[in-house]
Structure formats: structure tokens, C-alpha cells
Amino acid sequence: MSFGTFPEALENNAIDKEIRSRVALESKDAVWTYRQLAHSAGAIVNALAEAGAPRKSRVGLLAERNIYSIAALLGIMTGGHTVCPIDARLSAPDIRRRFRSAGIRWIIADSANEAKARQLGCVQVLNLKESLDSGFSPFYAVGPEDEALMLFTSGSTGAPKAVLLTHGNLMANALGVAERTGVTPDDRLLHAMPIFHTNGINNQLIVPLLCGAKVALLEKFRAETFFDEMQAWRPTYVTGVPTMFSRLLPFTPPKNAISELRFVRCGAAPLSEQLHKLVEEHLGVPLVLSYGLSEATCTSAMNPPAARKYGTVGTALSNQSISIRDPSNGKMLGPDEEGEICIAGPAVMKTYVPEQGPEVFYEGHCLRSGDIGKLDADGYLSITGRLKDVIIRGGENIYPGSIESVLSSHRSIKECVVVGQADQDLGEVPVAFVVLKEDQRFEESALKNEIEEKLSRIHVPKYIFEVSSFPVNSIGKIDRKALKTQVRSK
């Protein structure tokens, strides 16, 4: 693959005799070839030009998740603009604050969200259907340094921020993921994640479409019907989050539903070694665990499918480097030393919008992830927590991931989360929430004893609460902020 940018790749795929008639996107409503997808993207280019949007405008996308909104997302980028997809479920005031801070002055909205879009006070709102029915304009020539995509972070550890990514960032991520996973035109991805999230865009649209593969779009992930969807679409791979795969465990997949599946991918949140092995046994294929963040486009590390190391998120992708540093002074740490995960290379974002201070980076545009982890002697990365989640108990740092690792290995526990609770004497203490396996009993004292034996007394949670399930955010991550709120109310 010698494409310099994704618009160039999409256009070439659309005119290549071997690929143009192949299916690019399919759903229950429509099936589009690469040529049809490129034509729809060109219609978006034309609609923005006719509306008077200057080249390199920042354009918001407010639409439900379907083939047509995907065409709009890709069309904005191929027109030389920066696309900013947003969660349509957010309130109008919330979206207005985000768009104003990011300088969004144009919006493409579908009919279901057009009224909300017109409340936001941007320069102009274009109707998605009308835009797709407009004439065709050629793609705009863009370079690797041109802005392409703006994403708001999930805000799981604070206020959401806008991450600005270039075409070069998108290609660096896509080529690294394609190389590690070996995606080819014979692959079909089953797409079940939001398109306002980096995984749903970069790994589940740009990677397969760059490689000439097919993308089958699900309306929504539902554990109880997911294997029926797999039976209908026969994907060769699926990408998801831990919550999604854990919810599939009670359901038995028909053999013909997974007969063409060669691997599944998981990222965006921690996955215990125990759950990792359960999912692989249940599906009969490798579960490839990966790690990344929007600020580094999407994926920075991934387990090689044929050389997975349980308990890790794999090794750095090509053209990316991962280091561990002391968060207090930036000093590089050695193998098996725990510190802040830092990422460098062409996938690291251009900037935040609005820009933030230099504390986001070390020298050489090396990104501070805010995550805590360690590298082993073979370069495999393990995640142990987040800097902002660190529990400071009487002046001693406790990383929730260490406690969660012990709890998740217990025979009675299906899932667990550890958060901090304010304490008048010690400042803060750990508190655990656990979901038990079926027919298992909750034994708080036994769990506390095991944590003290395997870690230390200071790691023992003050309380261990049994819950039936965990709250999750819009992309399926466990919502730690919601759990901390529950702790304050207890």
C-alpha cells in the first residue's frame, strides 16, 4: 500500500478494477460498493462547496449511526475539511459548548437531529440526505500534515477535550494496525461501535476500507442477538470492548456463525487474564488485546495474534515507540519498572483544541498518556492504572489495577473495579465493587485476606460491595466516575 492519505486510498480503491465493484459497506438497509461509497463522499464534498464552506473548515457531524452518516464522515475529510462527529444523544447545550470551544462553524445533520443542530448557533446546517443527493465533486488533494479528524475524549477522568488528528496520523495508525492484524480484501469486519469514537472510525472504518475489505454495520450491539447477526454476516473479525465480550459469555454461538472468524480484537478498557481466556475458549479464536488512546489516533500497542502474552496489551505497532517514565520528573524507567506510559511517533495527535500547556508532552512530541504501566524485557506492555485514579492512602500510592488483578483471579469473581473513597484519617482508601459468577457466594473477609497476602495491608479495600453489573458510558467502558458517586452516597 503506497497511498499517502486515506482520501487518496478511498479514491484509488473506487477506481481500481479489482476493488471498485466489491462491497465496501453493508447493512440491513443498503449495500454499497467502493465506487458507490466514493461517489457519496464526493456528493458531500460538492454540498459543502455549494454551501460556501471554505476549504479546511471544521465541520460537525450530528447523525445516527448508519451507512449514510459514514459517507458524510468520509466525505468531509475527502473535501479537505476536518470532521468532528459528536454523540447525538448529548443535549443541545452540551454539544454547543463543545462545538464552540473547537471552532465548529458548519454542521451536517440527519433529519432526526436537524432541529437540534439548528439550536447550536453555527454558521450553517446542511441536511444529510439533501447533501447526498447533490452533484459530485472530485476529492480535494490533502497532505499528511493537513487536519482530518477532531474527536472529543470520553471524559472518563475529567472534562472532555477535543483531539485534533491529521491525515498523517490516521494513516500511521491504519498501516500499523493493518500490518499487525493482516487485514486483506477477503476480510469482513462486523462493526458494532459508535462512529464518534476513535475505534469506530480509525480501526473499524479506515483500516478495512484502506485494505479493500468489507464492513458490515450493525444497528446496535445486543448480546442476546449478536450471534444471530454473526450468522447472517459471517465476519472474519470483530472489534469490541471488554464489556461487550463478557456479555456474550452466557450465549452459545452456533458453529456456522463463527466458522469464518479468524480473530477478535479488544481494547478501550482493561481486560483481566481470566476473562481473556474465557472469551477465547468461548469463541474458539484468538482474542487480540490492544491499547491506545484518541491522543495517539487509536492503537499504539497490540498483541501479535500468533504470539499473545496474557496479562499484557502487546508490543508497539510499527512506527510507534512506547516508553515508561517517572511521572514526577520524566526520567526513563527500565524493564518491569512501573511508571507513566508515553508514546511517540507519527500517530501522536497534532494538539488539543483549545491547546493545552506543554505538560501534555515530553521533548520530541512524546505524549504523556496519563496511564500507568510497565514494559517487560520483550517489550510487552502491561497496564496497571491511571495517574488520576491513583489512591493516595496516608501518603502511599495505590494503583487500582494491582488490587483488581488479585480480585479478578479469584474463583468467585466475574468482574471487579476499585475506586478511591475519601477518608478523614488516611485521606483516601480503596473501595471495591465486584460482580460474582453464577452460583458463587460473596465472602468479603476471604477476599480481603487474599489481597493482604498477595499485596499488602494498605491495599486491602475498606469495603467490598457486591453489584449485579457496572455502569458503562456511551462506548461501553466501565464508568468509574459513576462508581465514585455511588461510593460517596454510601
pTM of the model: 0.83
| CA–CA separation, 414 and 69 (whole Å) | 37
**Rounded average pLDDT per 10-residue block, the chain, 490 residues:** 79 90 93 96 96 95 95 95 93 89 94 94 93 90 95 63 94 96 96 91 96 93 92 93 86 89 85 84 93 94 93 94 92 93 96 81 89 94 82 78 86 88 82 89 87 87 90 74 76
b/e for 54-81, b at 16 or more Cβ within 10 A?
A: eeebbbbbbbebbbbbbbbbbbbbbbbb
User: What's residue 3's pLDDT?
Assistant: 60
Distance between CA atoms of residues 437 and 79, nearest Å: 51
Answer whether 429's CB lies under 8 Å from 423's CB.
yes
Q: CA-CA distance, 176 to 208, in Å (whole number)?
A: 12
- The fold for domain 1-387 equals Rossmann fold (3.40.50)
Query: What's the rounded Cα separation, in Å, for the pair 334 and 330?
Result: 13
Q: Residue 238: its pLDDT value, please?
A: 94
| Per-residue pLDDT, 78 | 93
**Phi, psi dihedrals of residue 437, rounded to the nearest 5°:** -70, 160
Looking at residue 151, its pLDDT comes to 95
363: CB partners within 8 A, 6+ apart: none
Domain ranges of the chain: 1-387, 390-489
DSSP secondary structure letter of residue 197: S
Radius of gyration (C-alpha) of the chain in whole angstroms: 23
How confident is the model at residue 395, as a pLDDT? Answer: 67
CATH code of the region 390-489: 3.30.300.30
Bridge partners (DSSP) listed for residue 351: 164
89-to-62, 77, 116, 126 alpha-carbon distances in Å: 10, 23, 10, 19
Would you state the torsion angle of the CA atoms of residues 217, 222, 228, 231, taken in this order, to the nearest 10 degrees?
Answer: 40
- Please choose, from the candidates 102, 99, 214, the residue with its C-alpha nearest in 3D space to the C-alpha of residue 165: 102
pLDDT value at residue 82:
97
